[in-house]
Amino acid sequence: MKKSRILAVAGVALLATGVLAACGSSKSSNAEAPKAYGYIYTADPETLDYLISGKQSTKVATSNGIDGLFTNDKYGNLTPAVAEDWSVSQDGLTYTYKIRKGVKWFTSDGEEYAEVTANDFVTGLKHAADNKSAALYLAQNSVKGLADYLSGNNTDFSAVGVKAIDDYTLQYTLNQPEPYWNSKLSYGIFWPLNAEFEKSKGKDFGKATDPTSLLYNGPFLLKGLTAKSSIEFAKNEQYWDKDNVHIDTVTLAYYDGSDQESIERNFTNGAYSYARLFPTSSNYSKVAETYKDNIYYTPQGSGVAGLGVNIDRQSYKYTSKTTDEEKTSTKKALLNKDFRQALNFAFDRTSYSAQINGKDGAALAVRNLFVKPDFVSAGEKTFGDLVTEKIVSYGDEWKDVNFADAQDGLYNADKAKAELAKAKKTLEADGVKFPIHLDIPVDQASKNYIARIQSFKQSVETALGTDNVVIDIQQITTDELQNVTYYAASAAAEDWDLSGAVGWNPDYEDPSTYLDILKSTNSETTKTYMGYDNPSNPAVAQVGLKDYDKLVDDAASETSDLNKRYEKYAAAQAWLTDSSLFLPAMSSTGAAPVISRVVPFSASYTQSGDKASDVYFKYLQLQANTVTTKEYKEARENGSKKKLNQTKKLKKS
């Protein structure tokens, strides 16, 4: 995600759910309420350096320990954290923040180290810049002078538009107005760093398995991290806002997806506070009977999971191809838009979702766009409505396509066959031999992921015919999969034709948070999504990605009229959808059946950033008894009503 909010979604995607949001009340007294939260995590962090890593695996380990200027409340509003107050200049270019006095840095043992000051935020951004943070895309074109510093045109960081006016006054100067600027500041790259501590740790700062390699100013202290085992937190007893921290300990157990039933078992025996259920598991009928009054589906989240298309594959360690001709034919096919569209229309997303959500809940998680269709609105029109208006100019195949969530608006076998026929005519004239073999690597330990890719294989091969397309599933170990997808060192190491190990969570409240990451210049993300990391790669021009760059840049330049801005980003999404370079499948969070002892809607809620309820436990409350379906529905209805009546807290932004 930018490898920023890129999710490790291959083996255990869709486990984090949007359940912990908004408002509610527990029927348990405070004395009865448990104080220990337990659940799972799905990938070990490569680093604890929250300033340079954008991976979700790092966020899980660090978001509770470090607070930035803002966090999110239970209604989805940004609320001040280390920032106590702020102001914005009339031209929208200068943001001035008053730093809360008395916020302290602590070691992992809870010993006070220093006070958090404005200069810590300057140090943090400099550290991110000097160490080539994967999340620089969030800042480099926004903060005045940062792009010049990164390019080497200026070597003096004091010329960059982030200043400590004094210990308790921080100022950012932007290149152009960004109405969503404050929503960026809950993201890790903008969090503080104590300069003295950074210097003392040197290269060991943020060491992956060492809690002592960080300082903490947040609600929890990281106490332990054992690879492929557990992550442990303890309440920061000296946290400035400790009254809003309702649990004493958090223990996350490593989960590789091999035993789906273990999540429910650990919930039943009290080890977990929450359990995502799998209706396709062998024991689900028994679970459904035991918890018949307690199972509920969570709201669909803003993250997206799908399949990436490799436009320049270079590695073939994990492949069923036996000849160079097959490799060349596949590469040419994936560079052909009609062929990619054939795959897009042949993809039965409801069946795909059913492999994890069961038949009854299958449609609830389906997503048809990269950007959540109701993420923003222009007047009465959702973002999805705007895309619908824009995309029809690309061809008749897009007429009457419904891009709304929770229904499959793309699957159409007849359209798939028609696009394949066009592609085949062009490709055969270019010497391409059919069938086209497409390698998809999967984690051999993850039953639900294997089932989803098998579903994809079945729907594509049924719609297009195995004489035209064969999906070759490569079952490999978890580490092997990570090394050729999520953690691949370079595009050359991305060993796949199609990859389901891609997903994205938005960072801030603007469509650019999704669409910017696929610009041809964002090599860290294009590597993961499309298999290339050089914008000069000939394949980039062949698939027209420079046209996409122009559309995104044009949208970014519109800062005075949000409706026009969203329309322009909708044009970029329309191009992306038509290109079929990414095949959206499901929301990566939410729309899942769960059982829980978390007070419904008690935790922070956000569509974006690093303080979402799946990783941030500050406000979370537990109750002694398992939440009933009735309790959840009532809390959701009450929360929706209260949210409508809330006054947004960031009118100044």
Phi, psi of 531 (to 5 degrees): 75, 15
627 neighbors 294 (Cβ within 8 angstroms): yes
DSSP 108-145: TTS-EEEE--HHHHHHHHHHHHHTT-TTGGGTTTTBTT
Per-residue pLDDT, 31: 54
In the block, residue with structure tokens 């696929």: 518
- Residue whose structure tokens are 């003392």: 200
Give the span between the Cα atoms of 190 and 70, in whole angstroms: 10
Report d(CA 515, CA 576) in Å as an integer.
9
> Smallest Cα–Cα separation from 473: which of 456, 490, 493, 448?
456
- CA 95 to each of CA 68, 126, 143, 177, 623: distance values in angstroms, whole numbers, following the listed order: 15, 18, 11, 10, 41
Q: Tell me the C-alpha distance between 116 and 122, whole Å.
A: 12
* Alpha helix stretches (DSSP H) within 202-282: 261-268
Q: Is the bond leading into 435 cis (omega within 30 degrees of zero)?
A: yes
User: Would you state the pLDDT for residue 588?
Assistant: 87
Spatial distance between the Cα atoms of 447 and 495, rounded to a whole number of angstroms: 21
Q: Which residue in 184, 172, 194 sits closest to 103, CA to CA?
A: 194
As beta bridge partners, residue 86 has: 97
Q: Are 125 and 131 in contact (CB under 8 A)?
A: no
Whole-number pLDDT of residue 23: 35
Q: What's phi and psi for 121, nearest 5 deg?
A: -75, -35
pLDDT under 70 in the chain at which residues?
1-31, 639-653
pLDDT value at residue 3: 36
Q: Which two tokens stand for residue 364?
A: 């609830």
Q: Is 353 left (phi over 0), alpha (psi -120 to 50) or beta?
A: alpha
> Phi first, then psi: what are they for 469, rounded to 5°?
-140, 135
Q: From CA 239, how far away is CA 101, in angstroms rounded?
A: 12
Looking at residue 20, what is its pLDDT? Answer: 34
Q: What are the pLDDT digits (tens) for 180-219?
A: 999 999 899 999 999 999 999 999 999 999 999 999 999 9
Contact between residue 271 and residue 38 where contact means Cβ atoms under 8 Å apart: yes
From its phi and psi, is residue 577 left (phi > 0), alpha (psi between -120 and 50) or beta?
A: alpha
Pick left, alpha or beta for residue 465 (phi over 0 → left; psi -120 to 50 → alpha; otherwise beta).
left
pLDDT score for 311: 98
3-class secondary structure, 474: strand
Q: Which two tokens stand for residue 242?
A: 């400790």
pTM of the model: 0.81
Q: What is the DSSP letter of 518?
A: G
Q: Is 458 exposed, middle or buried, given 0-12, 13-18 or 19+ CB atoms closer than 10 A?
A: middle
With 0-12 / 13-18 / 19 or more C-beta atoms within 10 angstroms meaning exposed / middle / buried, residue 434 is: middle
pLDDT attached to residue 28: 41
411 contacts 350 by C-beta, under 8 angstroms: yes
Assigned token pair, 522: 């964002």
Q: Please give the pLDDT value at position 75.
A: 80
